[in-house]
Structures are given as structure tokens and as C-alpha cells.
Copies of this chain bind each other. A is one copy, B any other.
Amino acid sequence: MKLIIAIVRDTDDQAVIQQLINQGYRVTRVASTGGFLRRGMVTLLIGVDADKVQAVIDLVRDACRPPSEAGQHRATVFVVNMPHFEQI
């Protein structure tokens, strides 16, 4: 499995979370700030099967509004291997 760590703006996180839940994914939300200006960001933790990574990245891209400033992105996505996942 893979752990997806997606960082989105705090104006987009509710749309992303709603879409993730609609598609059956489980997500944990962590309030965050980005860069020196402490812009409001949200870090999302999503554990998924490896074959779902691209679908989740596409979902995040579609649910986030385009950035208002040049050079900015909708989201930053880190994907790490997760050899062990357990719901206990």
C-alpha cells in the first residue's frame, strides 16, 4: 500500500475531503501552514492500494481550484511506500 500525503490550500480542503469520502477513501486532516507567510494549508493523510494512487492524485487536482498566483500549484502530493497498514 501507499501513504499519500497531500498538501492543499485551506480553501480547497473541504471539497477534496468530500470527494475522497464520496469515492470511499478514508482521510485524516491536519491543519498546517505553508512557507514563511504562514498561508493556511491542510495536510491530508490517505492510505490507499498502490493501484489507486493516480486516481487519488487526479481527484485532488480536480477538486482544488486553480491557484490565483502565478508559480503556485493546486497541491503538493508526497507518496511513500507503506509496507504495513492496519486498522485495529
List chain A positions with a Cβ less than 8 A from chain B.
2-3, 5, 7, 17-18, 21, 26-36, 38, 41, 43, 45, 47, 53, 57, 60-61, 64, 73-88
Since A30-B30, A79-B84 are in contact, a sample of 19 more A-B pairs with Cβ atoms closer than 8 Å, ordered by chain A residue number, is A3-B80, A17-B35, A17-B36, A18-B36, A21-B36, A28-B32, A28-B33, A28-B34, A29-B32, A30-B43, A31-B31, A47-B76, A57-B86, A60-B88, A73-B87, A77-B85, A77-B87, A77-B88, A80-B83
A81 contacts B80, C-beta separation under 8 Å: yes
Given A61-B88, A73-B87, A85-B79, A29:B21 Cβ within 8 A: no
Given A43-B28, A45-B7, A79:B83 Cβ within 8 A: yes
- Say what secondary structure dominates the interface of chain A: strand
Interface centre among A18, A78, A84 (most CB of B within 10 A): A78
